[in-house]
Amino acid sequence: MLHPLTFQPIFKDRIWGGRELERLYGKQLPMDGPIGEAWEISDRPGDSSTIANGVYTGKTLHWLMENHAAELLGPARPASGNRFPLLCKILDAREKLSLQVHPPAAKAAALNGEPKTEMWYIADAGPGAELYAGLKPGVTRAEFEHKIADGTVADCFHRIPVKAGDAMFLPSGRVHAIGDRLVIFEIQQNSDTTYRVFDWNRVGLDGQPRELHVAQSLASIDFNDFAPQLVATPFVTEGGIARRSLVRDPLFNVDSWQIAEATTGALAPGRLQIVAVTKGTVSLHTGHCLIPLSAGQFALIPASVSWTNVIARGPAALLRVEAN
């Protein structure tokens, strides 16, 4: 029988990264340098997460998909190639990311890419931090192309001030970028296709300008996507837990929980779920095991686990992710 699973993070050095994952969450980063991403739950080719607890310690998530997919997924659908459907990350952006877009499902194959819908939860934000998402009202494709050519395409992007606790949904086709001084929990479908429109004229870690994908970007962008807003749903409090729906999508659902000290909340049975702790400390209790999780840690609850309770050890906050 499967049980809730934790994994070893996969760290990615990025030119725009830093060391905040060490400071905020005590992660043991592998080197002195800019670490931009911790892939917390991944089943990408060459980057499949290694299980860190229980009887399958040392096995990969892809091994689990090959041998226990039905128990793991339940009614959730796998990604192509029978891979795990979601990719979960924590991003540390000390500088702005490139202005970019992910291809929509209807166009991805023709562009030799994979569709990618995602959401961002702001875990930490410096003063004046902002996101770039969608287009400013009235921007046309012709204007956008002209500004790519003259290096001012950032002027076309809708900019949104953000603080810790904010969330943004990014369907494929929405142009976007993460601003500087942000730490973000990112939940996305299992894809790693990104088309860069503009990269602030900087060079990569190898000293060379990073590749742009202008033609693919123009083919992917939704030019009717103007001024999208942050998630605005309110919290509803019951039994010491304030819950807020962040995403309801055919690919995944995401809720934000704020849990009072010594409060217990039940996860939905029979569904593949992920718990990502954004603040404080909780424990997952299944009857078979008790798994402590602190801020910056993720756990995967297989659909075959009959019940799981979340117990807050102090005031805590988490994301509950459900794969569809």
> What stretches in the chain show pLDDT beneath 70?
none
Q: What is the distance between the alpha carbons of residues 178 and 164, in angstroms, rounded to a whole number?
A: 14
Concerning whether 196 is annotated as a catalytic residue, the answer is yes
Contact predicate 85/189, CB 8 Å: yes
Contact predicate 92/20, CB 8 Å: yes
For residue 1, the model assigns a pLDDT of: 77
Task: Please report whether residue 228 resides in a domain.
Answer: no
- Measuring CA to CA, which residue among 50, 218, 232, 230 is closest to residue 147? 218
Same domain, 193 and 271: no
Total number of residues shown for the chain: 324
Contact predicate 199/122, CB 8 Å: no
Same domain, 58 and 195: yes
Same domain, 14 and 151: yes
For residue 32, the model assigns a pLDDT of: 80
Same domain, 300 and 172: no
pTM value is: 0.95
Domain that holds residue 294: 236-323
Same domain, 243 and 182: no
Per DSSP, the residues of 39-92 read EEE-EETTEEPEE-SSTTTT-BHHHHHHHHHHHHHTTPPPBTTTB-SEEEEEEE
Contact predicate 7/59, CB 8 Å: no
State the CATH number of the domain containing residue 306: 2.60.120.10
Q: What is the distance between the alpha carbons of residues 192 and 319, in angstroms, rounded to a whole number?
A: 22
**Which of 194, 220, 246 is a domain's end point?**
220
Same domain, 32 and 176: yes
Task: Please report whether residue 230 resides in a domain.
Answer: no
Task: Please report whether residue 271 resides in a domain.
Answer: yes
For residue 179, the model assigns a pLDDT of: 96
Contact predicate 118/209, CB 8 Å: no
Catalytic, out of 196, 244, 271, 320:
196
User: In the chain, how many domains are there?
Assistant: 2
Eight-class DSSP state of 235: P
Q: What is the distance between the alpha carbons of residues 38 and 88, in angstroms, rounded to a whole number?
A: 9
Same domain, 211 and 245: no
CA–CA distances in Å: residue 179 to residues 33, 184, 200: 19, 11, 12
Eight-class DSSP state of 203: B
Task: Please report whether residue 2 resides in a domain.
Answer: no
Q: Which tokens go with 55?
A: 């009887």
Contact predicate 93/103, CB 8 Å: no
Same domain, 211 and 318: no
**Which of 191, 220, 249 is a domain's end point?**
220
Cβ atoms < 10 Å from Cβ of 227: 14
Q: What is the distance between the alpha carbons of residues 87 and 192, in angstroms, rounded to a whole number?
A: 9
Contact predicate 5/53, CB 8 Å: yes
Same domain, 161 and 42: yes
Eight-class DSSP state of 182: E
